[in-house]
Amino acid sequence: MASSNNFFDIIVVGAGPGGSFAAKISAESGYKTLLLDKELIGEKGRYKACGGAIAWELVEEIDYPEDKIARVIESLELHHVDGENYSKKGKGAVIWRSTFDKFLTDMAIDSGVKLKEQEALIDIKKNGDTYDIITKKGKYSAKYIIASDGVTSPTLKLLKWPYFRSEDLILTITKEMKTTKTYIDEVLGSDSVHLFFGIKDLIPVGYAWLFPKTETITVGWGNQINLVKNSREEFKKFENLSYVKNALKNSNQTIFKPHLIPVGLRPKLYEDNVFAVGDSGGIVDPISGKGIPYAMISGQFAIEAIKTGEKRDKMDKLGTFYQKSLDRKFLKILKAKREARDRIFQSDDNLKKFLSLWEKYRSSQIIMQKLL
Ligand SMILES: Cc1cc2nc3c(=O)[nH]c(=O)nc-3n(C[C@H](O)[C@H](O)[C@H](O)COP(=O)(O)OP(=O)(O)OC[C@H]3O[C@@H](n4cnc5c(N)ncnc54)[C@H](O)[C@@H]3O)c2cc1C
């Protein structure tokens, strides 16, 4: 039995954007909340492979300080390897995930959350009405569990939840290339991020990118995992494009990291007081791979489902409340995008048509209004 100090209303496993935001809302709602992460959360803490692009609305919503932004963006440049280029205007920011995630975790702590970092969950067991979570350092108990521990979610694996289909996983490789701000401004522009497409000659289902930060270019590549033959060689093909070669010629590699992006939902998002939030549930845009805002909102909705269930005394309906609020906000759109994605990546013609529409419309408009 966990001591009363180790007994919580809600345990949130994983302090990424989904977990930290869920924990913040949980503590603000009066729940005794534990936030657990296997890594050290901090600007000098764990590195997370990520483009780090977020919409300006999110910067404003959470009051993200401008001095923590690595670059303000005004356009998304879409390059097809056949030579067509498209430019999508819109304000955004590129952030370092260690800085951004720490900011959200600090918000959670300020709201009263207890943080335990460098403590990986190694086991989870149902014990009557509560779950016991075991780490190397201790045992903690709670009635509700938020599984926000990323795409490979050890929590859901231990609970034997079904995993993603292989066609719903993108294998990515990220390299951080250190250079100078002046050179980035010259080769990539001072306020643009760049995406590269090409089914036949670059990536069958996916894309590659150059995301400039202050003095670093984040170089990324991602392909549907069951279509990858040799990821390093395929990544090299991208680096050998003349535009990319030129952009990277004055830089030094500081990081190399593979990571998965889920682009389809897990077969279930709730069971028996456990909620899958963010990447652990596959709550990601299947076309762009954007996941930060969806992780945060799903974290919020999981806590709101608990509150509603308790208030209305409908504890058997928590999963329905969660699913319904996700559906209303964006899940229906994400599901439609998952289907559309197969059509977009069917041929270079379809892809180019999508890119030309994306210049002018939001991807959700293209899909929901059937513009493609
Ligand atoms: C290469 C790449 C580029 C991307 N670019 C963008 C982008 O530009 N914009 C965007 O919006 N999204 C992007 N994404 C997606 C985005 O990174 C994710 O959707 C987002 O991080 C999901 O947040 P999360 O909180 O669900 O999970 P995560 O951020 O993955 O957090 C999971 C947390 O769980 C912790 N954890 C794992 N196991 C345990 C354990 N056993 N015990 C305790 N803690 C544990 C981890 O340490 C981690 O902190 C990108 C993803 C990749 C891979």
As to burial, measured by CB atoms within 10 angstroms (0-12 exposed, 13-18 middle, 19+ buried), residue 258 is middle
Q: Would strands 206-212 and 192-197 be described as parallel, antiparallel, or unpaired? A: antiparallel
Q: What is the mean pLDDT of the chain?
A: 96
Helix (H) or strand (E) holding 305: helix 292-311
pLDDT of the residue at 74: 98
Question: Ligand 1 centroid vs 73 CA: distance in angstroms?
Answer: 22
Overall average pLDDT of the 99-112 stretch: 98
Question: Ligand 1 centroid vs 304 CA: distance in angstroms?
Answer: 22
pLDDT band per the 50, 70, 90 thresholds, residue 3: low
Residue 14 CB–ligand 1 contact under 6 Å: yes
Residue 299 CB–ligand 1 contact under 6 Å: no
Overall average pLDDT of the 129-151 stretch: 97
Give 81's DSSP letter.
Answer: T
Question: What structural domains does the chain harbor?
Answer: 4-45+99-164+264-342 (3.50.50.60), 53-95+166-262 (3.30.9)
The 10s digit of each residue's pLDDT in 22-65 is: 999 999 999 999 999 999 998 777 899 999 999 999 999 999 99
Helix (H) or strand (E) holding 58: helix 56-61
Query: Residue 358: what residue type?
Result: W
pLDDT of the residue at 1: 46
Residue minimizing CA distance to atom 44 of ligand 1: 37
Residue minimizing CA distance to atom 18 of ligand 1: 291
SS3 of 237, please? Answer: helix
Give 113's DSSP letter.
Answer: P
Overall average pLDDT of the 246-268 stretch: 96
pLDDT beyond 60 at 2: no
Residue 219 CB–ligand 1 contact under 6 Å: no
Atom of ligand 1 nearest to the CA of 19: 25
d(CA 301, CA 292): 15
The 10s digit of each residue's pLDDT in 191-241 is: 999 999 999 999 999 999 999 999 999 999 999 999 999 999 999 999 999
Please name the residue ranges forming H helices in 62-180: 97-110, 154-158
Question: Ligand 1 centroid vs 166 CA: distance in angstroms?
Answer: 18
Residue 38 CB–ligand 1 contact under 6 Å: yes
pTM over 0.95: yes
